[in-house]
Structure 1
Amino acid sequence: METSSQLDFCLHSWGANSYGQLGQGDVEDQSMPRLSDSSALQNRAIRAINGGGGHTAVITETGEVFVCGQNHKGQLGLGHSTDILVFQLCPVPNSRITNVACGWDFTLFLSDCGQLLACGSNAFGQLGVGQTVTHSAELLVVESLKKPIVSVAAGLRHSLAVTDSGTVYQWGLGLFSHAKRALSPHPVPPHLSSKEPSLVPGLDRRISRFVTAGSSHCACLTGDGDLFLWGSNKHGQLATTEPFLPAPTVLRRPVMDGEKVNNVWSGWTHIVAQTESGRVFTWGRGDYGQLGQRASTSTDSKQQSAGPVADGGSLKVCIPAEVKELCGATQEAVSSRGAGMNTACVETVYRQTSSSHSSCLV
């Protein structure tokens, strides 16, 4: 007797929903997981979900992108600026999309041929298409990136990309004001002040393979397992004594017991890293519990005073701490907006004639 199998995907979402970014057909906030209107996604397997300030993008296994939520700057790439309350197919001409990075009010699309497309606000040069475009509801090619792109990331108002040769580019003015205050009277480096892709210095002898971004910081993982960090260190997310790092600085391996880093994820103001043995470390802002570490009733032993900073306070150095409960985890994701204002969950249900299995990926 021939057996048949079927793969169904159900999308659950909850949290802030001011612009319909939960894809539920309304703008009501949800405190509990609720099914999104996934009729447009029927019979499509979901590969990944990414969220911006008020919009959401879903990638299917076939390379299609479905979007919903805030669209006042055209960040959904639909050719108009009307908010969308349920998921709608984003028309991407002649390309399959492998990754989407959502910034605050802009979106970057990476195609299977390594081409980078962008839409939404360009007020800070975050689209990488020059200064004449203020915003775009149409997908624009980032033409100055000549080599195929393999990784892309979006922060609040800045962007990052890695080419297939391992070179890292940055653009957008999201870190400019931080850099100007920290580096004055010295000039701000080009990669922190350019509205078009600019080569990130300090990584020329490394083969980079992955980038991620927070609201005002950047992270790059190299092929040999080193993690480089730069940008604002307001919440200790760079694990250094400096309030701002203008160029990539390697995270010393001894802080993670000498292990290489295999994966890294960035929240708005915190970082999660997984080592080669599967151990998970977190550091940065943790006042909403986003580090997964037990709060101490006494002085935090994972922070060390690094002396006074410009505002008269004291900068705390957040040392990466292991979250032992997550050792061996096969997949992680973090919310990059604020303290995590909304969340989406894909429930994968494998139906067979003899058994069923369901799992939830957040």
Structure 2
Amino acid sequence: MPPKRKSAGRPPKSQVAVNGAATKKVKVNHPSHCTEPGVVLTVGEGDVGQLGHGDEMLQRMKPRVVADLPMCISVVAGGMHTVCLTTDGEVYTFGCNDEGALGRPITDEDTEPFSPGKVPLADKIIQISAGDSHTAALTDEGKVFLWGTFRDGTGAFGLTSYGQTSKQPLHIRLEAPVIQIASGDDHLCMLTIDGDLLTMGCGEQGQLGRVAEIHAVRGGRKGPAILLEPSRVHCKRIRGRGKPLFDGVWCSSYCTFARTRDGDIYAWGLNNYHHIGLTNREPHYMPNAIESFSNIKVDSVAGGQHHTVLLDTEGKVYSLGRVDYGRLGLGEQTKESNVPALITDLADKHVTSIGCGTSVSLACTKQGEAYAWGMGSSFQLGTGDEDDADTPVLMEGKQLQNRRVIYVGAGGQHTVLLAVDK
């Protein structure tokens, strides 16, 4: 059992608090921040409102534009909710709000979560991320706001070291401005302007990269504060060059991938299908340099429950991990591998964005085409049927005919797209 909350004492300097003290004012920027405005389209299952098409449209077989949204520069899919970032730096959400993932007041649970609504944030937001039951937002001054809750194998255990959940944005007090955020199902990673990587949330599968296995389940005898207090990930020395400074971070459901300024990829977390690139199947609680990625100049990483997709700097796509339902896009492959394999069906394309859901994968090209592969049972592939696809298939639909897709992402049973007019 986690320890009882102490009745007194000053909170740690990085504790979460409503409208916390302002961080050092500095304008932040990172290549992961989207800037091209477009419209949001969704497809798949929408039984709890994650499609944003109202309470009478609970499923879409082909992508459809979400109405009543301003122009957006980013959209991300949580497990059962969707988060949109407008050109004005405002955040809109829709979908499941059982544990506060929408971050806004809901007066009518029957209708309001099914349509976009604005999150009450005074700061200008430049990046968003979402997990199963939490949402995070990064401001142009490097502040991070967080709402909802983290969960583990026994249920919800809050956002703060005291186990507090929140249905409104909470400000995380940190010493340095943050330039990039990334969410797994139940953990959050924050890359600072100094190149440090901070993590918080569930650590059961090793996804925090800084908590030993003995303390991974609700912090063990140390209590949940060790998991929920944002803290720095430490790496071993690299060939005598001192600690690695990071310039990119990405999360899959239960894993974290980080790139150093030298281009090396480190990873930690669940590895039961070799999907972090290591040969054994054990979870890894501390960072490992991934040698199997060393021949790829990684631009970005996406991952689902048990698979990983890589995009290199030349627009080529690779995959590794679990093969079921065709989620790797490699055809009738029957055995997983820790070595990334080139997806040959996309080899003649220049891919600009990749995304993953639980058992699906997505990519969009420089020409604005969207491709999907993997499990099709929720119409998540946008092909109009529920067939699985073991190689990439072109996503088509009337509302895509005159649009160019610039971003793809997926949640548990739904897919999100950002597109611009041709």
Report the TM-score range of the alignment, normalised by the length of the smaller protein.
0.7 to 0.9
Q: Which runs of 5+ in 1 are unaligned?
A: 1-6, 304-316, 350-355
Report if the CA contact (8 A) 1:225-1:262 is conserved: no
1-structure distance, mates of 2:37, 2:73: 12
Deviation, structure 1 residue 31 = 4.5
Following the alignment from structure 2 to structure 1, what is the Cα–Cα distance between the partners of residues 96 and 319?
Answer: 30
CA contact (8 A) 1:77 1:119 kept: yes
1:101 aligns to 2:129 (yes or no): yes
SS at match of 1:333: strand
Q: In the alignment, is the contact (CA less than 8 A) between 2:62 and 2:396 conserved in 1?
A: no
1:22 equivalent to 2:57? Answer: no
Match of 1:206 among 241, 244, 247: 244
Aligned to 1:264: 301
Whether 1:329 and 2:337 are equivalent positions in the alignment is: no
Give the counterpart of 2:339 among 295, 298, 319: 319
Q: Tell me if structure 2 keeps the 8 A contact 1:12–1:346.
A: no
Q: 1:89 aligns with which of 103, 118, 122?
A: 118
Distance change in 2, residues 1:11/1:173 (3 Å): closer
Tell me, in whole angstroms, the C-alpha distance in 1 between the residues paired with 2:141 and 2:396.
27
Distance 1:27 1:21, change over 3 A: farther
Q: How does the TM-score come out when normalised to structure 1?
A: 0.77
TM-score, length-normalised on structure 2?
0.67
Letter aligned with residue 253 of structure 2 = S
> Which of 158, 163, 172 is equivalent to 2:192?
163
> 1:131 corresponds to which residue?
162
The answer on 1:276 being equivalent to 2:313 is yes
The alpha-carbon deviation at position 127 of structure 1 amounts to 6.6
| TM-superposition CA deviations, 1:198-230 (whole Å, max 9, x none) | 211216711212212122111112222211110
Inter-CA distance 261–107: structure 2 relative to 1 (3 Å threshold) = same
In the TM superposition, what is the alpha-carbon distance from 1:266 to its structure 2 partner?
2.3
Secondary structure of residue in 2 paired with 1:84: helix
Query: What is the alpha-carbon distance in structure 1 between the residues aligned to residue 80 and residue 345 of structure 2?
Result: 31
1:257 Cα deviation (Å)? 6.9
Amino acid across the alignment from 2:75: I
Q: Is the aligned partner of 1:33 residue 2:66? A: no
> Could you say if the C-alpha distance between residues 257 and 100 of structure 1 is closer, same or farther in structure 2, counting changes exceeding 3 Å?
closer
Q: Is the 8 A contact 1:150 1:209 kept in 2?
A: no
Aligned to 1:142: 172
Residues 49 and 268 (structure 1), Cα distance of their counterparts in 2 relative to 1, 3 Å cut = farther
| SS of structure 2 residue aligned to 1:194 | helix
Q: CA deviation at 1:9?
A: 4.4
Q: Could you tell me how far apart the structure 1 residues matched to 2:273 and 2:55 are?
A: 35
Are the counterparts in 1 of residues 206 and 268 from structure 2 also a CA contact under 8 Å? no
Instruction: Provide closer, same or farther for how the CA distance between residues 140 and 275 of structure 1 changes in structure 2, counting only shifts above 3 A.
Output: same
SS of 2:345's equivalent? Answer: helix
Residue number in structure 2 paired with 1:196: 229
Output the CA distance in 2 between the equivalents of 1:26 and 1:346.
24
Q: Distance in 1 between matches of 2:102 and 2:328?
A: 30
Paired letter, 1:47: I
The whole-number CA distance in structure 2 between the counterparts of 1:11 and 1:262 is: 24
Partner in structure 2 of residue 310 of structure 1 = none
Deviates most, 121-130 or 223-232: 121-130
**Are 2:73 and 1:47 aligned?**
yes
Shift in Å at residue 63 of structure 1? 1.3
Residues 168-196 of structure 1 show CA distances to partners (whole Å, capped at 9, x for unaligned) of 111112425899xxx76x55599995111
